[in-house]
């Protein structure tokens, strides 16, 4: 079972890979495999069983080819795309029956909007099931239109990767996300707040985005988590298990 971490830069993909993995090990006695697909990361808080930096490293490209960080990152993704078979074989060779936790590049557009992400996920989900965890940064959700944008990115993820997607609000230790949780659980309250706090076209667009998300995800089930404190890992586990069992029911 593959669990793919997706979300904007800094939302906590790498931290969650480590802390959800630790939770699986300690609470369930699982032995998850850790996969790093970020060629740009310098330090990892987990020991990767497969590391794409065995093919290419962004810091090497910067030094060797005199590229800036963005140019080197794009070049690295091109190299990974050229050597996709190797990457897929590396991931396949991990084998095992348990969880494979897949950490993706900091900037999610490199994974989602180029070939790299969809191709890798297509290939690995031929042999085993896969679910994506779309991680919302609570700072984006500080306005209702921001929340609509954050949540609707889970649909974009669904469209690009073609696997079930569940959502999680990370960094719950930093800001109080209970208000946010209540809003997402109560459609009519959400609609009322959008109507009163946003105006005109923005209110309209926010409301429609939310409807779209609800329509596609049946219920907006979102885990409230902290990769730092480990809070909410059981909820996340339950959502992931449901998504994998229902095989598309959450899509
Ligand atoms: N307080 C807090 N910080 C977090 C949490 N998750 C991640 N971070 C911090 O957010 C920053 C970015 O995290 P990282 O996992 O590298 O994000 P990525 O770019 O999505 O892989 C780091 O400084 C993390 O320590 C969390 O749940 N709580
Ligand atoms: Mg990362």
Query: What DSSP assignment string belongs to the chain?
Result: -EEEEE-STTSSHHHHHHHHHHHHHHHH----EEEE--TT-S--SS--SEEGGGT--HHHHHHHH---HHHHHHHHHHHHHHTHHHHHHHHHTT--SS-EEEE--SSHHHHHSSSHHHHHHHHHHHHS-EEEEEEEPTTGGGSHHHHHHHHHHHHHHHHHH-S-EEEEE--TTTS--HHHHHHHH-HHHHHHHHHHHS-HHHHHHHHHHHHHHHHHHSS--EEE--TTT-TTHHHHHHHHHHHHHHTSTT-
| Ligand 1 site-directed mutation target among 6, 8, 12, most atoms within 8 Å of CB | 12
Distance (angstroms) between ligand 1 centre and the Cα of 100 equals 20
Distance (angstroms) between ligand 1 centre and the Cα of 10 equals 6
Closest atom of ligand 1 relative to the 15 alpha carbon:
15
CATH of 2-134+162-174+222-246, one of 1.10.540.10, 3.40.50.300, 1.25.40.850, 3.40.50.460: 3.40.50.300
Is residue 3's pLDDT more than 90? yes
Is residue 84's pLDDT more than 60? yes
The pLDDT score that the predictor gives to residue 135 is 95
The pLDDT score that the predictor gives to residue 251 is 37
Distance (angstroms) between ligand 2 centre and the Cα of 204 equals 34
* Closest CA to ligand 1's atom 25: 15
What value does the mean pLDDT of the chain take?
89
Of 139 and 160, the structure prediction assigns the larger pLDDT to: 160
pTM for the whole thing? 0.92
- Residue ranges covered by each domain of the chain: 2-134+162-174+222-246
Q: Average pLDDT in the 131-156 region?
A: 84
């Amino acid at each position: 079972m593959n669990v793919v971490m997706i979300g904007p830069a800094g939302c906590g993909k790498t931290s969650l890979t480590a802390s959800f993995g630790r939770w699986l090990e300690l609470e369930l006695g699982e032995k998850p495999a850790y996969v790093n697909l970020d060629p740009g990361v310098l330090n990892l808080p987990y020991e990767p069983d497969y590391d794409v930096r065995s093919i290419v490293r962004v810091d090497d490209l910067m030094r060797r080819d005199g590229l800036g960080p963005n140019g080197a990152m794009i070049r690295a993704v091109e190299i990974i795309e050229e050597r996709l078979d190797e990457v897929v074989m590396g991931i396949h060779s991990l084998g095992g029956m348990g969880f494979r936790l897949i950490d993706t590049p900091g900037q999610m557009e490199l994974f989602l909007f180029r070939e790299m992400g969809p191709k890798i996920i297509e290939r690995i989900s031929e042999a085993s099931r896969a679910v994506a965890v779309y991680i919302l940064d609570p700072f984006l959700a500080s306005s209702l239109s921001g929340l609509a944008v954050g949540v609707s990115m889970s649909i974009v993820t669904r469209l690009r990767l073609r696997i079930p997607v569940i959502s999680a609000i990370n960094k719950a230790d930093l800001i109080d996300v209970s208000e946010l949780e209540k809003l997402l659980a109560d459609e009519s309250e959400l609609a009322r707040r959008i109507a009163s706090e946003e105006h005109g076209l923005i209110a309209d667009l926010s409301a429609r985005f939310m409807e779209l998300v609800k329509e596609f995800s049946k219920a907006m089930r979102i885990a409230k988590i902290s990769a730092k404190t480990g809070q909410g890992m059981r909820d996340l586990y339950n959502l992931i298990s449901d998504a994998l069992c229902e095989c598309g029911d959450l899509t």
